[in-house]
Amino acid sequence: MEQSLIIWLLPVLTLLAGIGIGFLIARLVPNAAPGRTQRQLDDLQERFDTYQSEVVTHFNTTANLVKKLTQSYQEVQEHLSEGASRLALDELTRQRLLAALHADEAASPRERLTPPKSNEAPKDYAPKAPDAPGTLDETFGLKGKY
C-alpha cells in the first residue's frame, strides 16, 4: 500500500511544483511576447504612415511640375506668336507662321485602334496551285512517299 501511495503522490507533487514554478515565472517575467508584438505593430504603422506621406508628397510635386511645364509651353507659344506678328515682313508670311504655330491646337485627337469584331483565327492564304496541299496540311513539303 505504501508503494501505491508513492506512485500517486510523486506525480501529484511534481504537478503542483510545476504549477507553482510556472506561476512564479509568469509573475516575475513581464509579458514579453505581447509587448514585442505591439512594438512591431507600432513600427509597421509608423512605416506605413511615412510611406503614405511620401506618396502624397510625390504626387503633389509631380502636379506642380506638370503645371509649370504647361505654363512654360504656353509662354513659349505666346512668345513665338508675338515674334511672328512682329518680325514677319508681310501679311502672308505672318499668317502662315501663325497658322503653323496654332496647328497643334486645332489638330483633332488621334483615332484609336479598335479590336477586331470577330475572334476567328486567321486563315492560311499562302499562294499555292489549285490541287497542291496548303502550308497547314500535314503532308506539305514532303516529296513522295517514304
Q: pLDDT tens for residues 47-95?
A: 999 999 999 999 999 999 999 999 999 998 888 888 877 877 778 777 7
Could you report the per-residue pLDDT of 63-74, keeping only the tens digit for each? 999 999 999 999
Output 118 or 53, whichever has higher pLDDT.
53
Q: Retrieve residue 76's grid coordinates.
A: 513659349
Q: How far apart are CA 132 and CA 31, in angstroms?
A: 86
**Of 8-12, 32-36, 57-61, 126-130, minimum mean pLDDT range:** 32-36
Output 138 or 31, whichever has higher pLDDT.
138
**Residues 6 or more apart in contact with residue 85 via CB below 8 angstroms:** 94, 98
Q: How far apart are CA 75 and CA 85, in angstroms?
A: 15
Burial of 59 (0-12, 13-18, 19+ CB in 10 A): exposed
Whole-number pLDDT of residue 110:
64
Whole-number pLDDT of residue 43:
94
Q: Retrieve residue 88's grid coordinates.
A: 514677319
Whole-number pLDDT of residue 146:
47
pLDDT band for position 109 (50/70/90)? low
Whole-number pLDDT of residue 48:
95
Q: How far apart are CA 77 and CA 114, in angstroms?
A: 34
Q: Report the SS3 class of residue 69.
A: helix
Rg (CA), the chain: 43
Cell numbers 490541287 label which residue?
A: 131
Output 71 or 139, whichever has higher pLDDT.
71
Average pLDDT over residues 19-33: 76
How far is C-alpha 3 from the chain's CA centre?
A: 74
